[in-house]
Amino acid sequence: MLQYALLHLFGYGVSIDDLKNFRQVDSITPGHPEAHDTPGVEVTTGPLGQGFANAVGMAIGQAHTAAVFNKPGYDLVNNYTYMFFGDGCAMEGIASEAASTAGHLQLGNLIAIYDDNHISIDGDTKCAFTEDVLKRFEAYGWHTQWVKDGDHDYEGIEAAIAKAKEVKDKPSVIKLTTTIGFGSKLQGTGGVHGNPLKADDCKQVKEKFGFDPEKMFVVPQEVYDMYHKHAAEGAAAEQEWNKLFEKYGSEYKDLHSDLARRLTRNLPEGWQNKLPTYKPTDAAIASRKLSESVLEAIHDVIPELLSGSADLTGSNNTRWKNAVDFQPPNLGIGDWSGRYIRYGVREHAMAAIMNGLSAYGTIIPAGGTFLNFVSYAAGAVRLSSLSHQRVIYVATHDSIGLGEDGPTHQPIETLAHFRALPNMMVWRPADGNETSAAYYMALTSKQTPSILALTRQNLPQLEGSTLEKAIKGGYVVLENKDANVTLVSTGSEVSLCLEAVKTLKEQGLVARVVSLPCVEVFDAQDKEYRLSVIPDGIPTMSVEVMSTLGWEKYSHEQFGLNRFGASGPYKKVYEKFEFTPEGVAKRAKATIDFYKDVKPLRSPLNRAFTQLI
Amino acid sequence: MLQYALLHLFGYGVSIDDLKNFRQVDSITPGHPEAHDTPGVEVTTGPLGQGFANAVGMAIGQAHTAAVFNKPGYDLVNNYTYMFFGDGCAMEGIASEAASTAGHLQLGNLIAIYDDNHISIDGDTKCAFTEDVLKRFEAYGWHTQWVKDGDHDYEGIEAAIAKAKEVKDKPSVIKLTTTIGFGSKLQGTGGVHGNPLKADDCKQVKEKFGFDPEKMFVVPQEVYDMYHKHAAEGAAAEQEWNKLFEKYGSEYKDLHSDLARRLTRNLPEGWQNKLPTYKPTDAAIASRKLSESVLEAIHDVIPELLSGSADLTGSNNTRWKNAVDFQPPNLGIGDWSGRYIRYGVREHAMAAIMNGLSAYGTIIPAGGTFLNFVSYAAGAVRLSSLSHQRVIYVATHDSIGLGEDGPTHQPIETLAHFRALPNMMVWRPADGNETSAAYYMALTSKQTPSILALTRQNLPQLEGSTLEKAIKGGYVVLENKDANVTLVSTGSEVSLCLEAVKTLKEQGLVARVVSLPCVEVFDAQDKEYRLSVIPDGIPTMSVEVMSTLGWEKYSHEQFGLNRFGASGPYKKVYEKFEFTPEGVAKRAKATIDFYKDVKPLRSPLNRAFTQLI
């Protein structure tokens, strides 16, 4: 509510009526701030620790963008990022990961204020949180200050912020010891965390601070005047900036148009011509390597693309050959203009930092980890979706096909999880053309994040795959109008299905094969097209080496793995679970037999009613 | 491999052949150690940071169990918990959360050794991890030591461990600066992290340490002798302990039988008689409150039950009235025998600590957070399942029904995620009897964790629900042999479906209603029973206010919410998305009409082939 109230005072598009509608259906003032819905809300927070890591992302965004665009006399990109956090955020692992990252990166443009009010929802922090927070931040390499009377010492706060701005080589945290619900009868207790004040308490607070206790939702004119004056100063500064930027354009034409373009979130014209395409005769390649080839091919034409990995660079193949690391120059291993981020083993912070990078507006972030460990980042991945951030998760080692690392690393539930998440594209490409298609869609979808599930093992280039077909999310790889069954599959299992077609043929059965690399994009196609892919009249069986959950939507029967995997060479693991041409064919035959008597046999895409979306 | 090799040397059931089968299909030596599969492996690790938090759980388990059972002259429970962690673990947020918890709890029985080898998968830790780790642990309240030459200084290591054992009021960390792959040609590089040494390197290492370079998988007899001597000492100590425990039984009969029983993982006889049951005339109550009533009713008869919450005690309703907090006595707010754990806002660590508590063998842990934030803990929840731990997640505020907190807190994808996870029971009870059933199954399933998805809003007590029916995972709440449609539902939507039956009746349509509080348990019933619940011949429609993904397995049509929710009073939110009797009835009618022409209309439970499980 404080954030909404301040936006109102500063003149953003948040009215008194919007404030009255706080936490009401279809208001722009939901229970926690959502970047996509409310003017002036820059990141979606509420889930604890997310805002902390978002701020680190925005500070990285500033440091990088400044290094690329600032020139002598043109200090174009020079903002500080301010972030408030409380005890709850400080306890969350994601905030620890992000704080360690910010300290390593020496983000002097980041100023955090720690609201040290000693209260969390369970009451006094004494019950669970007795560490020395400032000492911890010192250990991370932060500059630390403590304002002991945060309730009254405004000058101390101002001085601390001024000092923090002077510290250029470290992020700053200011511990502000405060009283929660200051002025309320319940001040200093958990009773003021989430509940509205009672009527009599409201009145006495208003009296205490010199307001008319009987009036509600009233802002004195002098308060408006003061905030509007600040807003006018901001607007004037924006005008100045616009002039400076125009002048910059006369001196640095290319950089000017690059930055102007980035702010529209449009990609450079013709960039897609750089996407690799493949012929069936090309070598079999793991899709994590195909992804690397895409990054290699496009990084020059999409300068806003910043790649990285959570300490799995060599496995995720996220780094193009001549990449420079984003690092403080004094470490001697990169610089601020670098476009490769070493996130460390910090998956959750990586995801939330990428949300912050995307929100900054000049960057498209891509970050790698194993698909199984995208789950470590689930809290932030969810906010990529909810806040419409163009974030790309490069999720390699996408199945039991990773082999020897075994069940602790082999995703089973992961794709079902993220397919159930609204506004998320989950791509599982089957070959090179599909991998390029996945990147095409991930990069051109300005409002939707993507998870690219990529193999460790080699995949053959399919006959019949093209980028144009694959960007529909699903298409027919092998057509046959006499087919007895449709096999629908993704990623590494598409070529397995094509092998199974031969096995079935030996038994006198005819199968057609569909690749469905992205169900969310396929769902968005018109019904006629979708029914041409998964038609009425013959049964459909899905094949994917993980949980079958959700495949019932696209198939009558499902061949998958509803148990944990096994450690071993991947071909042996596939054999153990019957993911072989014979294993697929056996089940396809059972499917054909089972549906022989059903009339009419509808495509699973035919539904009685439309889903709410 | 070090863990497997040591287990072999100490005489556990790990043979040389098992070592040769490292990372082979169906071996007991998978790529990462799994507690359920390999003798002597106590927790399943590999995903970074999990083992760290498991160790904190085991140390809590020791402190609590000692406080309950130790008596003068009977120091029965007095083990230290040893834990190794590397830079990767140190970077993970879960380890930070667990370390902060351990420091707060003053776990003097916990000794951690930090393998400070300066190498992670991306190479030198300089690229992402430059914080002062020991200083951070000091900030958490740990005792810290540094052995600077971990490659050679065995006496220093021994002395540091001895010192750590003396420190009784703080967990200890010993930073051991080492060379990764010590002795290899690739020592000090990432090249020895995960790859086997090359043949020539293997040979020179063996030579360097005085072994025959030509022999493979050979253990010199003097090495076996030394380890077997240690093992014999251990066996003798176990004999001593058994004698002491027997003697304890003569003096402390009840405590003796309690501890002996706990170690079998059986519950006390007759405990289930304490479970609350409800009549339809009883008041409507939120299932989070029903859960509280279960805990209130059973905590006395199940002394091994330790509850807790990630800083949402008052919202999760996880604390029985007279609960004592598990706290260091010197804080004055609890003691070591306390059975309520204040986890702080640390969901991921809470889950992994609970895995450690369960592995310790004398405790059944239950821990609360909002269902949406179980996702923060996904990495550890997965290992609850994989390692067969009896852990209970009390997941309240389970849907858009939480209302005002809004989309950032309203689960959409969460149940699909965890239903896709093997060996996990996801319960979403519809009323009091179903809530008791959920606890009955959660507590009696020794090898399976549970997530209990519970409402914030009140739910009526259903006519036709009983504990006996609900423990089948699914049952008919309202039967009608003339039904045109089956409505299958869970939790808060079951009573909505019963309302919709009346609306349909006004339109001349007849519906039966099925409650499916746990699909995993329902799946385990025999087919005849399952088909009596979701029969052939009439269509089935599912109703659940979140992602429909997966419901196709149990229904022909699905009414759910495949988008993010909304912030507002929960009844308004339900109305917005048409989760009203009219909204359900409209879709049920469409379902009836759509399937009229299909012959035979099979139950979705009829499948062409059986899934691999």
Predicted confidence (pLDDT) per residue in B553-581, tens digit: 999 999 999 999 999 999 999 999 999 99
C-alpha span between B522 and B530 (Å, rounded): 7
In the block, tokens 């907090």 appear at B325
Helices then strands, each counted (H, E), chain A = 23, 19
B578 is catalytic: no
Give the pair of three-digit tokens for residue A280. 């069936």
Q: What are phi and psi of A238, to 5 degrees?
A: -65, -40
- Using alpha carbons, select from A177, A188, A49, A195 the residue that is nearest to residue A123: A188
Segment B585-602 shows an average pLDDT of 97
pLDDT attached to residue A239? 98
Strand stretches in B205-339, DSSP E:
285-286, 305-309
Q: Looking at beta carbons, which residues of chain B come within 8 Å of A101?
A: 128
- CA-to-CA distance for B80 and B83, rounded, in angstroms? 10
Find, among B369, B391, B375, B275, the residue nearest to B317 by Cα.
Answer: B369
Percent over 90 (pLDDT), chain B: 98
- Distant-in-sequence, close-in-space partners of B533: CB < 8 Å, separation ≥ 6: B474, B475, B476, B514, B522
- Report the residue of chain B nearest A28, measured CA to CA: B567
Three-state SS for A197? coil
Are the C-beta atoms of A300 and A270 separated by less than 8 Å?
Answer: no
Closest Cα to residue B77, out of B86, B85, B68, B89? B68
pLDDT in tens, A270-310: 999 999 999 999 999 999 999 999 999 999 999 999 999 99
Q: Check if the beta carbon of residue B400 is closer than 8 Å to that of residue B409.
A: no
* Chain B residues with beta carbon closer than 8 angstroms to that of A599: 598-599
From A23's Cα to the closest Cα of chain B, the distance in A is 5
Task: Determine how many CB atoms are found less than 10 A away from the CB of residue A278.
Answer: 22
User: In the numeric block, which tokens belong to residue A528?
Assistant: 């006629």
- Show the tokens assigned to B127: 């690229």
Residue ranges for the known binding site of B for Mg(2+) are 87, 117, 119
Closest CB to A345 among B27, B48, B327: B48
Are B401 and B481 in contact, with CB atoms under 8 Å apart?
no
| Catalytic-role residue among A347, A434, A493, A557 | A347
CB B466 within 8 A of CB B434: no
**Which of helix, strand or coil describes residue A78?**
coil
Q: Do A129 and B100 touch (CB under 8 A)?
A: yes
Q: Is A46 within any annotated ligand binding site? A: yes
Tokens of B75: 């120091």
B194 three-state secondary structure: coil
For chain A, list residues with pLDDT below 50: none
Is the sign of the CA dihedral B219, B225, B229, B230 positive or negative? Answer: negative
Q: Which of B106, B326, B421, B571 should be substituted to probe chain A, the one whose Cβ sees the most A Cβ atoms within 10 Å?
A: B421
Average pLDDT value for residue range B407-430: 98
* Type of residue numbered B335: D
Instruction: Tell me what the mean pLDDT of segment B7-19 comes to.
Output: 97
Residue type, A10: F
Find out whether A475 and A469 touch, Cβ atoms under 8 Å.
yes
**Average pLDDT score, chain B:** 97
For residue A298, give how far its alpha carbon lies from the nearest alpha carbon of chain B (Å): 23
Give the E-state strand segments of B505-612 in sequence order: 511-515, 540-543, 557-559
Q: Are the Cβ atoms of A406 and B550 closer than 8 angstroms?
A: no
Closest C-alpha to A387, from A63, A57, A91 = A57
Listed residue (A324, A304, A206) closest to A264, CA to CA: A304
Distances (CA, A) of B80 to A533, B227, B356: 61, 20, 14
Give contacts of B406 with chain A, Cβ < 8 Å. 23, 30-32, 34, 46
Q: Which residue do the tokens 């706080």 mark?
A: A22
Query: What distance in Å separates residue A137's CA from the closest CA in chain B?
Result: 8
Around B7, how many Cα atoms within 13 Å sit in the side-chain half-sphere? 20
* B101-134 pLDDT tens trace: 999 999 999 999 999 999 999 999 999 999 999 9
A358 by Cβ neighbours in 10 Å (0-12 / 13-18 / 19+) ranks as buried
Closest chain B residue by Cα to residue A584: B609
- For residue A25, what are the CA distances in angstroms to A1, A194, B370? 16, 18, 21
Strand partners, B129: none
Q: How far is CA B368 from CA A189, B93, B314, B425, in A?
A: 22, 19, 10, 16
**Distance between terminal CA atoms of chain A?**
28
Instruction: Give the domains, in start order, of chain B with CATH numbers.
Output: 1-41 (no CATH), 48-232 (3.40.50.970), 271-459 (3.40.50.970), 469-594 (3.40.50.920)
Q: Tell me if A347 sits within 8 A of A373, measured CB to CB.
A: yes
φ, ψ for residue B84, nearest 5 deg? -105, 135
Order of all β-strands in the sheet with A172-177: A81-86, A110-116, A172-177, A143-147
pLDDT of residue B158: 98
What is the maximal distance between C-alpha atoms in chain A?
A: 89
Report which residue type is found at A398. Answer: D
Which 3 state secondary structure label does DSSP give A327? coil
CA atoms within 13 A on the CB side of B529: 11
SS3 B238: helix
Three-state SS at A579: coil
Question: What does the block give as tokens for A76?
Answer: 């174009």
Q: Which residues pair with A85 in a beta bridge?
A: A114
**Of A149, A152, A520, A10, nearest in space to B549 by CA:** A520
| pLDDT band per the 50, 70, 90 thresholds, residue B613 | low
Residue A30 has its nearest CB partner, among B100, B549, B567, at B567
**Cα distance between residue A350 and residue B93, in whole Å:** 11
Spatial distance between the Cα atoms of B154 and B160, rounded to a whole number of angstroms: 10
Contacts of B129 (CB under 8 A, 6+ apart): A100, A104, A344, B87, B90, B91, B120
Binding residues of B: 46-48, 87-88, 117, 119, 193, 288, 315, 373, 397, 405, 409, 456
Residue (of A381, A374, A416, A408) closest to A545 by Cα position = A416
Contact B417 A420 (CB under 8 A): yes
Locate the chain A residue with the closest alpha carbon to B139: A132
- From residue A382, give the alpha-carbon distance in Å to each of A95, A148, A389, B413, B455: 17, 37, 10, 9, 21
Of A379, A421, A613, the CB nearest to B376: A379
